[in-house]
Amino acid sequence: MSLLEENQSTDLEKMVGLSRRGFISAGALCGAAMFMGGSLLSRSVLAASVSAGTSKLLGFDSIPAATNDAISLPPGYRSSVLISWGQPLHKDGPAFDPSGNGTAEQQELQFGDNNDGMSLFEFAGEKDRALMAINNEYTNYRYLYPHGGMPQSAADVHKALACEGVSVIEVQRKGGQWHFVQGSRYNRRIHGNAPIDLSGPAAGHALMKTSADPQGKHVLGTFQNCANGKTPWGTYLTCEENFTDCFGSSDAGQVFDAAQKRYGVVATSKEINWHPHDPRFDMAKNPNELNRHGWVVEIDPFDPKSTPKKRTALGRFKHENAALAETADGHAVVYMGDDERGEFIYKFVSRDKINHANAKANRDLLDHGTLYVARFDSGDSNPDHPKGHGEWIELTHGKNGIDAGSGFADQAEVLIHARLAASVVHATRMDRPEWIVVSPKDGQVYCTLTNNAKRGEDGQPVGGPNPREKNVYGQILRWRTDRDDHGSKSFAWDLFVVAGNPGVHGGTPKGGSSNITPQNMFNSPDGLGFDDAGRLWILTDGDSSNAGDFDGMGNNQMLCADPVTGEIRRFMVGPVGCEVTGISFSPDHKTLFVGIQHPGENGGSTFPEHLPNGKPRSSVMAISREDGGVVGA
């Protein structure tokens, strides 16, 4: 920890005399919070003290919204490209071919497309060398193929699958700048056709068996890899999100069962259209293939020969990310969101304890444990800062009405059809849960609820942590577990911020909560990241039209919040048409890595190279201070 970081203690810490805490374990704050008058101490601090420019934690001035095809940063900051879509990973590897004529085999040797969540893994004892595991969520046909449209052949589908999954790369710092190391023996692609093992309670179940894999234990590929998690034992978690969209049916009249419908499968596929050219994605021919995706996958970045494992104990849904925590008595906790309108927030608690002395002893820790889903009460009616309580409901066969009578033959079916099991226990239908992060300072958990234009319809009541009808702006929910123990079954929640547009709508709710101003407004919070000093970084994936409800918000952006005072400042604006997603830090926090995904999604961008008639390329950016200081401080 640098002296600078040490000096960035939050006001709350100073008040209660806390020292900086290690990995995520909540605890000591509980007594202090009670002393100060209740477990929602930071709520009252937030409500009382939000005013522009007062946070000591945020060491930069908020920048204006922007609509140009570039990265905008506060004065004194700079950015460079760490790696872009199509860059060769290996020595003498095939170079990016902007014509779109590159093959699937070449793409399998290059950095994948549309980078999303990522984690950095230090080499022990080496401060200038690390590995990064980076998700590649999907691809944009407009730029992938010379024809610019839907896949037209098996080779086209193969190439799309080669763009997705995960890229593991080595990075090194030279002359104060982090660089990608082409040719490192650690560089690796785990793409949509890579061999992966199924493990945990659903592996080998009848619903997981296909003609290509009669044992139901080995699957080809991970794809639609959204965000991520990093375990304390040094592995990477990649989360499979919109997998259902990859499936369709050659039988236009195929009747889907309740579970297939709940996961959103339709005969015509949605935008992706692989099934006409690859029978693996044809529900008329391989219906169980659908069940083999939608999981959290664990990867050992330090072993390039290792086979990734889909951890079925964590449940199957449209996984956004996976936030690791630890119970007071040492068990691993994984918080997870299911990004779909009206779907749920989950947590997994491992059966066994984390072995902090022997990383390899945790190799299969995520194969055994208990899955829970969150139920929130309706809270109070304060439109500016709603708050209330909630509980975790166990999703175990034989408990809480989850049994053969409600449609579940065994625990494997509960996990494969986790959404249905969560509905049996009346979990709370949320406004599209995206990223979840755990504060390294006080163990509070933050979750972006990105938006939900259907709130108020479709059996989704307005209220509680989802307080706004036709919610186009989103909000950030947080909760403090009872006894500050992530193993607790209950918690207190509040809304850290309700996004809105005070320039278009007066007052709450559409103008947002009191920590939203015309200077920092944004929509659709999505990515989240805490740095070691406790700054909360907020990344957006919203409407960048800069018009109507979104007038004055500009391109997608990254903001930084002081969790104690509630102040939020705009730190970065991305290029035209991009989503800002994926965040990680160098070990000394002097470089912030952030993902620019799908620049020019609908045209209008040549980011980052700005070549005449060039293609935009998703890229990981390295942000640093010109004076070499800690980013954000």
To ligand FEO, the closest distance from the beta carbon of 154 in angstroms equals 26
Nearer to ligand FEO (CB atom), residue 448 or residue 624: 448
Nearer to ligand FEO (CB atom), residue 8 or residue 448: 448
Work out what residue 241 binds among ligand FEO, Ca ion, none; the CB cut-off runs from 5 to 8 Å by kind: ligand FEO
To Ca ion, the closest distance from the beta carbon of 241 in angstroms equals 8
Spatial neighbors of 303 by CB under 8 A, at least 6 apart, are: none
C-alpha torsion angle, residues 290, 294, 295, 297 (rounded to 10): 100
To ligand FEO, the closest distance from the beta carbon of 486 in angstroms equals 23
> Does the protein bind Ca ion through residue 541 (CB under 5 A)?
yes
Site string for Ca ion, 421-460 (x = CB under 5 A): -------------x--------------------------
Residue 477 is encoded by which pair of tokens?
A: 């929910």
Determine contact, residues 615/554, Cβ cutoff 8 Å: no
CA 495 to chain centre: 19
Work out what residue 69 binds among ligand FEO, Ca ion, none; the CB cut-off runs from 5 to 8 Å by kind: none
> Does the protein bind Ca ion through residue 601 (CB under 5 A)?
no
Residue that is written with structure tokens 């893994």 in the block:
121
Q: How many residues bind Ca ion (CB under 5 A)?
A: 3
CA angle 355, 25, 34 (to 5 degrees): 150
Site string for ligand FEO, 120-139 (x = CB under 6 A): -----------------x--
CB contact burial 313-346 (16+ within 10 A = b; e otherwise): bbbbbbbbbbbbbbbeeebbbbbbbbbbbbbbbb
Q: Longest C-alpha distance within the chain, in Å?
A: 66
> Does the protein bind Ca ion through residue 526 (CB under 5 A)?
yes
Determine contact, residues 299/165, Cβ cutoff 8 Å: no
Nearer to ligand FEO (CB atom), residue 439 or residue 524: 524
* 195-199: strand order across its sheet: 218-220, 195-199, 309-311, 296-299, 236-240, 225-230
Residue 338 is encoded by which pair of tokens?
A: 């299911």
> Does the protein bind ligand FEO through residue 278 (CB under 6 A)?
no
Spatial neighbors of 116 by CB under 8 A, at least 6 apart, are: 134, 135, 136, 137, 225, 226, 227, 228, 581, 582, 595, 597
To ligand FEO, the closest distance from the beta carbon of 522 in angstroms equals 16
Work out what residue 137 binds among ligand FEO, Ca ion, none; the CB cut-off runs from 5 to 8 Å by kind: ligand FEO
Determine contact, residues 476/497, Cβ cutoff 8 Å: yes
C-alpha torsion angle, residues 613, 617, 620, 621 (rounded to 10): 20
Nearer to Ca ion (CB atom), residue 513 or residue 597: 597
> Does the protein bind ligand FEO through residue 339 (CB under 6 A)?
yes
Determine contact, residues 421/400, Cβ cutoff 8 Å: no
> Which parts of 164-272 fold into alpha helices (H)?
258-262
The amino acid at 174: K
To Ca ion, the closest distance from the beta carbon of 621 in angstroms equals 17
Nearer to ligand FEO (CB atom), residue 42 or residue 540: 540
By CB under 6 A, the residues from 137 to 176 that bind ligand FEO are 137
Nearer to ligand FEO (CB atom), residue 241 or residue 278: 241
To ligand FEO, the closest distance from the beta carbon of 434 in angstroms equals 5
The count of C-alpha atoms lying within 13 angstroms of the C-alpha of 300, restricted to the half-sphere facing its C-beta, is 13
Nearer to ligand FEO (CB atom), residue 224 or residue 520: 224
Site string for ligand FEO, 69-108 (x = CB under 6 A): ----------------------------------------
To Ca ion, the closest distance from the beta carbon of 404 in angstroms equals 36
Member of 26, 226, 297, 418 binding ligand FEO (CB under 6 A): 226
Determine contact, residues 555/66, Cβ cutoff 8 Å: yes
By CB under 6 A, the residues from 474 to 533 that bind ligand FEO are none
Nearer to ligand FEO (CB atom), residue 544 or residue 624: 544
Nearer to ligand FEO (CB atom), residue 59 or residue 294: 294
The amino acid at 388: G
Work out what residue 567 binds among Ca ion, ligand FEO, none; the CB cut-off runs from 5 to 8 Å by kind: none
Residue 76 is encoded by which pair of tokens?
A: 């004194």
Member of 241, 245, 300, 442 binding ligand FEO (CB under 6 A): 241
Nearer to Ca ion (CB atom), residue 485 or residue 526: 526
Residues 573 and 622: their CA atoms lie apart, in Å, by 14
Closest CA to 3 of 537, 632, 631, 630: 630
Work out what residue 278 binds among ligand FEO, Ca ion, none; the CB cut-off runs from 5 to 8 Å by kind: none
Nearer to ligand FEO (CB atom), residue 502 or residue 595: 595
> Does the protein bind ligand FEO through residue 434 (CB under 6 A)?
yes
Applying CB under 5 A, the residues found at the interface with Ca ion are 434, 526, 541
Applying CB under 6 A, the residues found at the interface with ligand FEO are 137, 226, 241, 320, 339, 434
